[in-house]
Structure 1
Amino acid sequence: MKGLPVETANHAPRRDVRGIARAILLLLTYALALLVCIIQGLTLYAGSSVEDGRITLSSLSIVQFDGIIPSSTSDSYLVRIHLFFSSLGYEHPSASTAGVVSSWPRLPHDLMTIGEQLDVPSSAWACLVSGSECTSPFYRAFRSGYFDLPTETLTYFGIYYAFFFIGVVLLKEILISVRPSWLRCRCYFGFLKRKCSCPRGTREEIEALPSAFWDGYRMWLWPTMAFAAFTPAHLQFLNGWVLKTHVNLLGLEGVNARFGRGFVVMQAVALGASFVAIGFLYLRKQLGSKADWMEQQGVLGGSDGTKTKGASAV
């Protein structure tokens, strides 16, 4: 590299590699944020419709249990009831039949609705609507009380909260690149200003801030995405646990209330992705900090061998 000091020329390729690595880490972080959004979108969409005798994305149901029609060959039941984020549905694989009966579980009313749609004799649940005896042990077990999940509003708040905060994070990422001065600290009270991670100064000063500053800002910003991924998963898990516990306490054989494997895996992936994204940003910050230290020592610099005074946020 003719015309450059020997020490600077030797370290220029290393600086380029660090810059590429930092850019890749940021892109991977964006990809993980997109993955979290997709998972929350699939959670909303699951259980919304029925196609070809199957509920849409039934594998993503929060909780599932068997019931309604007993098997003639074992102690199990032929109908599978699914709790989704915004619906309660059922599938009867033997008859290639499925349906969505309500937007929020209300037992045993929803179970009677399922029985009607499957042409189960009304005598099966007679004890739930009159003083007669239920001919079905499944329905008889539900005569002890009415069940309704209490956290519908809170559950919806949790998932829309997640979308809102992920949107805020991505919007601020755009502003870091195109209009960083809009992120200027606007705290009114002094004690808040001392804690605030937003930039201060004029527009020119903020736009000249080095990438190391924005790496620190991201380490304050992106943990909110982990909290946003945790909140809806936690609320849905609580709803599922309440329903699962209620059904299992009835003591019915063959009902087998359990969490949906797809739901558990997807929510774990979303939560894990949010923490991995934070890890990528931390690694990016460390790479940038090491490069800044080398610049301060005069090892890395611009084409004239001098220290770079400003850097891209990327």
Structure 2
Amino acid sequence: MADQAATRRGRDALKQALLVGAYLLGIVATAIPVLLIFAGSWLVNDEKDASGPIRLALSKLSIASFDGIIPDPNNKGAYLLTMHLFPRALGWEYPSAPSHGQTAGIVNPTRGTLYLPTDFVTIGKALDLDPSAWGCFPPVWTDPCENPFFAAFRRQFPYEGTPDAWTVFLLSALVACAAAIAAVELVIAFRPSLLRCQCYFAALKRVCPCPRGTRHEIERLNAAFWDR
């Protein structure tokens, strides 16, 4: 009897651990899309009341990062400015900018579509670059682009926006998770027997956190059981 009681306690503990693990994974699966959707949509400064460089929030979560626009005078082919593409924004970081307000910025914090090279021109204007840097773009067209980064995009006309696929995917995943949670809550309220343990492997069935028994037995379980 003592051995059976110890075995039962061990199984109960493992069931509880699996349940906690499922909750944690659910929280992580929900938090990641939310962070990706809002990443890069605001600026931060780690040092309060300091004039040091500002940066993009959650820049490590950008879909892509690339250098450009400001050539490095000491390293041919290198650039001092880094751009970060997020699902809902395009931003840049320029730590060695001549002014504090130019060390980081956001082209558009709520738009998921990237327009090239128009958005790069927007960054150039925010950095007070001479318009000759993008002289080969409209409305002039005929002038050369003095900046090698902009010159590389001369053949990209007409401008085209990239599809907003990442935002649609993340929002769809978020809605799907919310719908799944709502469906489980409805099943618990109106047909809890559908959630009975249906593991096909004996090893998993012993630790399955779902209830076992007949439909009548499962539907008689109180609300506290499902809140575990």
Would the TM-score normalized by the shorter structure come out above 0.5? yes
Distance, in Å, in 2 between the alignment partners of 1:20 and 1:287 is: 9
Q: TM-score, normalised by structure 2?
A: 0.75
State the 1:288 CA deviation. 3.9
Instruction: Say if 2:85 is the partner of 1:165.
Output: no
Which structure is richer in relative contact order (CA contacts within 8 A, separation 6 or more)? 1
Distance, in Å, in 2 between the alignment partners of 1:46 and 1:27 is: 28
Instruction: Say if 2:122 is the partner of 1:113.
Output: yes
Q: Deviations over 1:256-296 (max 9, x none)?
A: xxxxxxxxxxxxxxxxxxxxxxxxxx97545249xx7xx9x
Q: Indicate if the aligned counterparts of 1:83 and 1:89 stay in contact, CA closer than 8 A.
A: yes
Distance, in Å, in 2 between the alignment partners of 1:283 and 1:55 is: 48
Return the match for 1:151 from 163, 174, 191: 163
Compare 18-27 and 157-166 and name the one that shifted more.
157-166
Give the equivalent residue in structure 1 for 2:89: 87
Moved runs in structure 1, 4+ residues, more than 6 A? none
State the 1:155 CA deviation. 3.3
Q: Indicate if the aligned counterparts of 2:116 and 2:161 stay in contact, CA closer than 8 A.
A: no
Return the match for 1:138 from 129, 145, 149: 149
Q: 1:140–1:15: structure 2 CA closer, same or farther, 3 Å change rule?
A: same
Q: Indicate if the aligned counterparts of 2:39 and 2:58 stay in contact, CA closer than 8 A.
A: yes
Q: Indicate if the aligned counterparts of 1:25 and 1:284 stay in contact, CA closer than 8 A.
A: no
Kindly provide the amino acid, as one letter, of the partner of residue 71 in structure 2: P
List aligned pairs for 1:276-287, cutoff 5 A.
285-287=205-207
List aligned pairs for 1:118-129, cutoff 5 A.
118-129=127-138
* SS at 2:153 equivalent: helix
CA RMSD, 1 decimal? 3.0
State the 1:170 CA deviation. 3.0
Instruction: Say if 2:22 is the partner of 1:29.
Output: yes
State the 1:10 CA deviation. 3.1
Q: Deviations over 1:99-147 (max 9, x none)?
A: 1113221011111111111111110110112201111111110010145
Distance, in Å, in 1 between the alignment partners of 2:130 and 2:174 is: 44
Instruction: Say if 2:11 is the partner of 1:18.
Output: yes
State the 1:150 CA deviation. 4.0
Distance, in Å, in 2 between the alignment partners of 1:113 and 1:22 is: 56
Distance, in Å, in 1 between the alignment partners of 2:169 and 2:59 is: 21
Kindly provide the amino acid, as one letter, of the partner of residue 136 in structure 1: N
Q: 1:183–1:93: structure 2 CA closer, same or farther, 3 Å change rule?
A: farther
Distance, in Å, in 2 between the alignment partners of 1:36 and 1:20 is: 24
Q: Indicate if the aligned counterparts of 1:89 and 1:98 stay in contact, CA closer than 8 A.
A: yes
Kindly provide the amino acid, as one letter, of the partner of residue 196 in structure 2: W
List aligned pairs for 1:33-112, cutoff 5 A.
33-52=26-45, 53-75=54-76, 76-95=78-97, 96=100, 97-102=103-108, 103=111, 104-112=113-121
Q: 1:283–1:164: structure 2 CA closer, same or farther, 3 Å change rule?
A: farther
State the 1:79 CA deviation. 0.8
Kindly provide the amino acid, as one letter, of the partner of residue 144 in structure 2: E
Gaps of 5+ in 2: 46-53
Distance, in Å, in 2 between the alignment partners of 1:69 and 1:283 is: 61
Distance, in Å, in 2 between the alignment partners of 1:283 and 1:105 is: 51
Q: Indicate if the aligned counterparts of 2:40 and 2:56 stay in contact, CA closer than 8 A.
A: yes
Distance, in Å, in 1 between the alignment partners of 2:207 and 2:161 is: 48
Q: 1:215–1:151: structure 2 CA closer, same or farther, 3 Å change rule?
A: farther
Q: 1:286–1:92: structure 2 CA closer, same or farther, 3 Å change rule?
A: same
Distance, in Å, in 1 between the alignment partners of 2:44 and 2:137 is: 31
